Amino acid sequence: MKTELARLALILLLSLSTVPGYPTPAISAKTGPHTLEVIALEARQDLRTLRLNFPLDPLLAEGGKVYFLVERKYLQAIQEFGYSFTLETARFEQTGEKLLRPGTKIQGGLNGAYHSYLELGAELKSLAASYPDLARLYVPGKSLENRNIYALKISDHPGQSEDEPGIALLGGHHAREWISVEVPLLIGRYLLENYEREARVRDIVNSAEIWIVPLVNPDGLEYSILNYRLWRKNRRLNGDGSYGVDLNRNYSYQWAYDDLGSSPVPSSAVFRGAGPLSEPETEAVRNLFQNHRIQSAISYHSFSQLILYPWGYLDQPAEDESLLQSLAEDMAGLISQVNGRVYQTGRASALLYLTNGDFADWAYGFFRTLAFTIELPPVDLLQGGFLNSESDIDLIFRENLPAALYLIERTIASYSGSAARLSPFLRRELEKDDESMVIKRPGAAFRGKESR
Ligand SMILES: [Zn+2]
User: What are 242-281's pLDDT values in tens digits?
Assistant: 999 999 999 999 999 999 999 999 999 999 999 999 999 9
Query: Is the model's pTM score more than 0.95?
Result: no
On whether residue 104 sits in a domain, the answer given is no
Instruction: Mark the residues whose beta carbon lies below 5 A from ion ligand 1.
Output: 174, 177, 301
- Collapsing DSSP to helix, strand or coil, 221 comes out as helix
Among 161, 213, 207, 216, which Cα is nearest to 185's?
213
* 122 vs 95, higher pLDDT: 122
In the prediction, which pLDDT does 71 show? 83
The reply to whether 50 and 131 lie within a common domain is no
On whether residue 101 sits in a domain, the answer given is no
Residue 80 alpha carbon to ligand 1 centre in Å: 31
What distance in Å separates the CA atoms of residue 82 and residue 389, rounded to the nearest whole number? 39
CATH assignment at residue 55: 3.30.70
pLDDT tens digits, one per residue of 320-340:
999 999 999 999 999 999 999
CA-to-CA dists, residue 445 to 94, 215, 291, 439, angstroms:
50, 19, 7, 12
- Collapsing DSSP to helix, strand or coil, 59 comes out as strand
Span of 3-12, 205-214, 410-419, 430-439 with lowest mean pLDDT: 430-439
On whether residue 371 sits in a domain, the answer given is yes
In the prediction, which pLDDT does 88 show? 82
The reply to whether 122 and 52 lie within a common domain is no
The reply to whether 42 and 154 lie within a common domain is no
Residue 308 alpha carbon to ligand 1 centre in Å: 12
Q: Where would I find the H helices in 164-258?
A: 179-193, 199-207, 218-226
The reply to whether 403 and 281 lie within a common domain is yes
Q: Out of 76, 92, 108, pick the residue that ends a domain.
A: 92
CATH assignment at residue 198: 3.40.630.10
Selected catalytic residue, list 93, 375, 431, 450? 375
Residue type present at position 208: A
Residue 373 alpha carbon to ligand 1 centre in Å: 9
On whether residue 109 sits in a domain, the answer given is no
In the prediction, which pLDDT does 28 show? 30
Banded pLDDT at 127 (limits 50, 70, 90): very high
What distance in Å separates the CA atoms of residue 140 and residue 286, rounded to the nearest whole number? 9
* 3 vs 385, higher pLDDT: 385
Q: State residue 372 phi and psi, 5-degree precision.
A: -120, 145
In the prediction, which pLDDT does 399 show? 98
Q: Out of 57, 92, 127, pick the residue that ends a domain.
A: 92
The reply to whether 122 and 68 lie within a common domain is no
- Total domain count for the chain? 2
Neighbours of 22 (CB within 10 A): 17
On whether residue 126 sits in a domain, the answer given is yes
DSSP codes, 14-49: HHT----SSS----GGG-STT-EEEEEEETTS--HH
The reply to whether 54 and 171 lie within a common domain is no
The reply to whether 154 and 190 lie within a common domain is yes
On whether residue 170 sits in a domain, the answer given is yes
- Backbone CA torsion sign across 372, 374, 375, 379: positive
**Does 279 qualify as catalytic in the annotation?**
no
On whether residue 66 sits in a domain, the answer given is yes
The reply to whether 34 and 133 lie within a common domain is no
In which domain, by residue range, is 66 found?
Answer: 2-92
Residue 240 Cα to chain centre, angstroms = 25
Residue 358 alpha carbon to ligand 1 centre in Å: 10
The reply to whether 57 and 122 lie within a common domain is no
On whether residue 215 sits in a domain, the answer given is yes
Mean per-residue pLDDT, 141-154:
97
Residue 304 alpha carbon to ligand 1 centre in Å: 10
pLDDT tens digits, one per residue of 31-89:
334 477 888 998 777 777 887 788 777 666 667 787 787 888 889 999 998 899 998 87
Q: Cα 425–161–431 angle (5° rounding)?
A: 25
Residue 215 alpha carbon to ligand 1 centre in Å: 12
149 pLDDT higher than 60: yes
Residue 130 alpha carbon to ligand 1 centre in Å: 31
The reply to whether 122 and 87 lie within a common domain is no
The reply to whether 299 and 347 lie within a common domain is yes
Q: Out of 92, 125, 159, pick the residue that ends a domain.
A: 92
The reply to whether 140 and 239 lie within a common domain is yes
